[in-house]
């Protein structure tokens, strides 16, 4: 099994939020990073945050197989191999929509991005990690505390995050013969644009709208880097990182 220190990463959803925080944390720590996302300008903004870092911006829609193939081809062409995939790209979908009113197109978009996109990227990573020398690598899937407990009106997002847990377990098993370690980080209330509404008020299970605590997204990024820099003989299978006082454990 390959136990060398990894140093080449692909980060999806790298143009904002958690993806940007993880990408810059890796770049500042000496990793080479292929930045993937739908908006090239946002990826270039991420790269500019670490101007001396070894980064490559690749416009990618993770729900498109050809885009994903192109992403990994570009990463290998530039850096020679792939040691880490942070499978992060995702969307919550329309907020505040009851399940009976959720348009099928909206459901399909969330599934295509959060689940199908994660599968396509993991599949491409498996192919590369199996054939490269030394063989192996690591995949970290960005789950959510919604992989354990839903919020109101979140059927599409919650369903995909539960499915991602199954994908993580299956990939972890299938990766064993090839030195491919697969784990998942479940995140609750990291302060990003996507969670800005939490501080002003979020719908609770009892119907009340209440503000919720958030945590610095940099703490998530450091946790991902810790998982990523373990030797391949060790794996964090599941990690949960959340704002300490958010209404998650117990009754809120």
Q: What domains, with CATH codes, occur in the chain?
A: 8-242 (3.40.50.720)
Q: Which of 104, 157, 178, 248 is catalytic?
A: 157
Q: What is the pLDDT of residues 215-246, one digit of tens each?
A: 899 999 999 999 999 999 999 999 999 999 88
For the cut 80, the answer to whether the pLDDT of residue 206 exceeds it is no
The β-bridge partners of 87 are 141
For the cut 60, the answer to whether the pLDDT of residue 207 exceeds it is yes
pLDDT tier at 153, thresholds 50, 70, 90: confident
For the cut 70, the answer to whether the pLDDT of residue 66 exceeds it is yes
Cα diameter, the chain? 55
pLDDT tier at 201, thresholds 50, 70, 90: confident
pLDDT value for 209: 80
CA-CA distance, 152 to 203, in Å (whole number)?
Answer: 7
pLDDT tier at 5, thresholds 50, 70, 90: low
pLDDT value for 147: 86
For the cut 50, the answer to whether the pLDDT of residue 111 exceeds it is yes
Which residues neighbour 66 within 8 Å (Cβ) at sequence distance 6 or greater? none
pLDDT value for 2: 44
196-204, long-range: CB within 8 Å, 24+ apart, which pairs? 197/95, 202/151, 203/96, 203/151, 203/152, 203/153, 204/152, 204/247, 204/252
pLDDT value for 212: 79
Q: Which of 92, 171, 169 is nearest to 124 (CA)?
A: 171
Is 157 known to be catalytic? yes
Average confidence (pLDDT) over 170-176: 98
For the cut 50, the answer to whether the pLDDT of residue 7 exceeds it is yes
Q: What is the pLDDT of residues 114-144, one digit of tens each?
A: 999 999 999 999 999 999 999 999 999 999 9
pTM, rounded to two decimals: 0.92
E-assigned strands of the chain?
8-12, 32-37, 54-59, 84-87, 137-142, 180-188, 202-203, 209-210, 238-242
């Amino acid at each position: 099994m390959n136990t060398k220190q990894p140093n080449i990463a692909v980060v999806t959803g790298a143009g904002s939020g958690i993806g940007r925080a993880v990408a810059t944390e890796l770049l500042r720590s000496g990793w080479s990073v292929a930045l993937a996302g739908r908006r090239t300008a946002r990826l270039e903004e991420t790269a500019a945050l670490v101007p001396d870092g070894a980064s490559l911006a690749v416009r990618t829609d993770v729900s498109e197989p050809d885009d994903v193939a192109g992403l990994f081809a570009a990463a290998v062409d530039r850096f020679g191999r792939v040691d880490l995939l942070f499978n992060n790209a995702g969307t919550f979908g329309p907020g505040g929509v009851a399940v009976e009113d959720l348009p099928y197109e909206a459901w399909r978009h969330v599934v295509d991005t959060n689940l199908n996109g994660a599968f396509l990227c993991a599949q491409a990573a498996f192919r590369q990690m199996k054939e490269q020398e030394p063989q192996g690598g690591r995949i970290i899937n960005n789950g959510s505390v919604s992989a354990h407990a839903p919020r109101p009106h979140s059927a599409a997002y919650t369903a995909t995050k539960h499915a991602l847990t199954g994908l993580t377990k299956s990939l972890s098993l299938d990766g064993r013969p090839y030195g491919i370690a697969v784990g998942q980080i479940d995140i609750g209330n990291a302060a990003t644009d996507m969670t800005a509404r939490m501080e002003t008020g979020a719908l609770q299970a009892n119907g009340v709208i209440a503000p919720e605590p958030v945590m610095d997204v940099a703490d998530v990024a450091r946790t991902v880097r810790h998982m990523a820099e373990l030797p391949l003989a060790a794996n964090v299978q599941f990690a949960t990182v959340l704002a300490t006082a958010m209404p998650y454990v117990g009754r809120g």
